[in-house]
Amino acid sequence: MCIQCAAGAMTAVAGATGSRIWLQARFPALADRRVGLVLRRGILVAGVLAAGLVGPAAHGSDPPPKAAAPSATLASATAR
């Protein structure tokens, strides 16, 4: 995994953790162990998916460069 991908994943996890803590502080009913586990997993999955969709482009997604046209000297050398 490249550094850019790892940084995106770490940012997603940190954002998900902050969101979970904020939700539990705002709504104390979410502090239940089972609800917290489901909430944590759901937010982590959503964060990683969002980072993958909105984050940097996937490796190898750029089209390959076009082949260079044969040079004029090569064409003139074969015409002789």
pLDDT (tens digit per residue) in 16-58: 788 888 888 898 887 788 887 888 788 878 877 877 777 666 5
Tokens 């550094």 belong to which residue?
A: 3
Strands, E, within the chain: which ranges?
A: none
The number of domains in the chain is 1
From CA 20, how far away is CA 7, in angstroms rounded? 20
The SS3 of residue 12 is helix
Domain that includes residue 45, residue range: 7-57
Residue at 14 is within a domain: yes
In terms of pTM, does the model score above 0.85?
Answer: no
Whose CA is closest to 54, among 26, 3, 17, 12? 12
Residue at 73 is within a domain: no
Residue at 71 is within a domain: no
Residue at 30 is within a domain: yes
How many angstroms separate the first and last alpha carbons of the chain? Answer: 53
